[in-house]
A = this chain, B = another copy of it.
Amino acid sequence: MALNRQWRLAARPSGLPKESDFSWHEEPVAEPGDGELLVRNLYLSLDPANRGWMTGRKTYIDPVGIGDVMFGSTIAVVESSRHQDFQPGEIVSGFLGWQDYALASPRALVKLPPELPVPLEDYFAVFGHVGMTAYFGLLDVGRPAEGETLVVSAAAGAVGSLVGQLGKLHGCRVVGIAGSDEKCSWLTAELGFDAAVNYRREPVAEALAASCPEGIDVYFDNVGGEILEAALSGINDRARIVVCGMISQYNAIEPPPGPRNLGNLLIHRARMEGFIVLDYFLRASEAIDALGAWVSEGRLRYRVHVVEGLEEAPAALNYLFDGRNEGKLVIKLAEPPA
């Protein structure tokens, strides 16, 4: 009988998550009830937001409970189905957790289109919550206009690299902020960013002033903290700051102070707005169609960083916080069906 291997939350992390904050379980695979499905996870997406779900605090979702299977988005294959709309072998995506198998109700699943323009392994790099975050965050909240300057932080990350390319597709000057020269080169040489700032090597406010000679119209923020302060120092009138993430804060034991120059919002009549991709799921097809077309045309590039084996998930999660991942970070749990 197959075993379901799981990572469960064992303790609330203080600072960076440690492997001991998780516990490994193996239990028999459950049988689907009436109307349910049994799915087998193939790829697990690791995202900075995962860290927020591990605190005891309700965010936009309830936190992971101690002893619960760790939350995560996955791509899965239907193993057995007791619902007429799903057949074994179909590929789905859902919020199915850090485990090999899951029982799911059909309304918690999205069927992947049978003709995906990318390999399954690449799905989370362009589509799913990552693609929708970039697409709706930039276009709906940031509202860039042609000729404007867009700055994006964590620009070599999964969301950031799409945001910058979407900015170029919409006629913006695009400047990315990333944490290594290699990442910065990738942004400018491969993705078409106009400039990139290595925040580990140069003072960000000065570097942005130099690379944004006409000021910043849209700042897509994935990091918060000092880099947010640096970007705020260079905004134009009517600038829009898209609050997508605050990765610099997620592992803070004491919440660090905010930017000292929020008064710039006032002086520049600027808008700072948060958003949660969950709110956009009813409009998913709009993003998927647009992103799919650009990928097919070769106008949207990405990198995928695949780590093999569910066992590696706790260690790999920290790649997101020390900057070791190169591209969208996914755990491969099993070989997709041919």
Stretch of A39-47, A101-109, A179-187, A244-252 contacting B (4+ beta carbons < 8 Å): A244-252
* Per-residue contact bits, chain A 263-307, to B (CB 8 Å; 1 contact, 0 not): 111111111111110010000000000000000000000000000
A337 contacts the other chain (Cβ, under 8 Å)?
A: no
Residues on B with beta carbons closer than 8 Å to the beta carbon of A257: 257-260
Residues on B with beta carbons closer than 8 Å to the beta carbon of A264: 274
Chain A contacts with B in 301-323, Cβ cutoff 8 A:
none
Instruction: Name the contact of A262 in the complex, choosing from B59, B246, B271, B275 (C-beta under 8 A).
Output: B246
Indicate if the CB atoms of A274 and B270 lie closer than 8 Å: yes
- Name the prevailing secondary structure of the A interface residues: loop
Indicate if the CB atoms of A274 and B279 lie closer than 8 Å: no
A270-B279 Cα distance, complex, nearest whole Å: 13
Chain A contacts with B in 194-241, Cβ cutoff 8 A:
224, 228-229
Size of the A side of the interface (Cβ < 8 Å), in residues, is 33
> Contacts A243-B262, A265-B243 given: A273-B272 contact, CB under 8 Å?
yes
Indicate if the CB atoms of A261 and B255 lie closer than 8 Å: yes
**Interchain residue pairs A-B with the least CB separation, the first 5:** A258-B258, A257-B257, A266-B274, A265-B274, A255-B260
Chain A interface residues (CB < 8 Å from chain B): 59-60, 224, 228-229, 243-246, 249, 255-276, 279
Known interface pairs A255-B261, A265-B274; 9 further A-B residue pairs with C-beta atoms within 8 A, sorted by A's residue number: A243-B262, A246-B263, A257-B257, A258-B259, A264-B274, A269-B273, A269-B274, A270-B274, A271-B273
15 A–B pairs (Cβ distance < 8 Å), ordered by A:
A60-B267, A243-B263, A245-B266, A246-B262, A255-B260, A257-B258, A257-B260, A258-B259, A258-B260, A259-B262, A262-B272, A269-B274, A269-B276, A269-B279, A273-B273
